[in-house]
Structure 1
Amino acid sequence: MGDDAGGDPVGNTSVFPPPPKTYEVFTEENVLWLQVLQAELDRSGQRESFRSMAPEDRRALQTQLLQDASHRDSDGADDALRKDENVVLPDIDLLELMPPDVSWIEQDGGYQLFGQRWPIPEATPTLEQLGIPRMFPPDPFDYVEALRTLLRTMLFTYYQLTNDLLQPIQPYEASGGGSNPKAASGTESQELSSNHATGEKQHEDPEAGPITDSVTEVSTTRLKDHLQHLETTVINFQYLMNQLRPVQASASLETLLEEQVKRREEQTKVLRDKCASIRDAIEKLSF
Structure 2
Amino acid sequence: MDDEETELRNPFPSPPSHYTRYTNHNLKLLELLKERASEGVDISTLNQYDVLSDQTDVPEWPLATLEKPRVDWILEEGHYTVFGDTWFIKETIPSLAELGGHQLYPQDPGVDRRPALRSILRSLLVTYSKLLTSLLAPPPTSSSEGEPEWKQHLEWINVLAQNVMAAANDLRPVQARGNLELMMRRQLELRREETKTIHSKCDSLEAQLAELRQSAQSLSSAASANPSQGATSSSVPPPDPSQMSHEDVLRWAEELV
TM-score (norm 2): 0.57
5+ unaligned residues in a row in structure 1: which ranges? 1-22, 71-88, 176-185, 187-217
State the partner residue of 2:158: 231
State the partner residue of 1:8: none
State the partner residue of 1:143: 113
- Mapping 1:40-55, distance limit 5 Å: 40-43=29-32, 45-46=34-35, 53=42, 55=44
Q: Which amino acid aligns with 1:262?
A: E
Cα deviation per residue 1:200-235 (whole Å; 9 max; x = unaligned)? xxxxxxxxxxxxxxxxxx7x3323212221221122
* 1:260 equivalent in alignment to 2:187: yes
Q: Which amino acid aligns with 2:31?
A: D
5+ unaligned residues in a row in structure 2: which ranges? 1-12, 215-257
State the partner residue of 1:61: 48
Q: Which amino acid aligns with 2:29?
A: E
State the partner residue of 2:26: 37
Tell me by how many angstroms 1:275 deviates: 0.9
Cα deviation per residue 1:112-169 (whole Å; 9 max; x = unaligned)? 679997665455555555554442367665334544443443344344435544x266
Q: Computing the radius of gyration over CA atoms, which structure comes out larger, 1 or 2?
A: 2
- Mapping 1:198-277, distance limit 5 Å: 220-277=147-204
TM-score (norm 1): 0.52
Of residues 170, 174, 177 in structure 1, which corresponds to 2:139? 170
Structure 2 SS opposite 1:68 = coil
Change (3 A) 1:34 1:46: farther
Tell me by how many angstroms 1:279 deviates: 1.2
State the partner residue of 1:26: 16
Change (3 A) 1:43 1:164: same
Mapped to 2, the partners of 1:111 and 1:222 lie a distance apart of 48
State the partner residue of 2:73: 104
* 1:153 equivalent in alignment to 2:123: yes
Residue identity over aligned pairs, in percent, reads 29
Change (3 A) 1:44 1:117: closer
Mapped to 2, the partners of 1:49 and 1:37 lie a distance apart of 20
Aligned residues, how many? 200
Change (3 A) 1:61 1:268: same
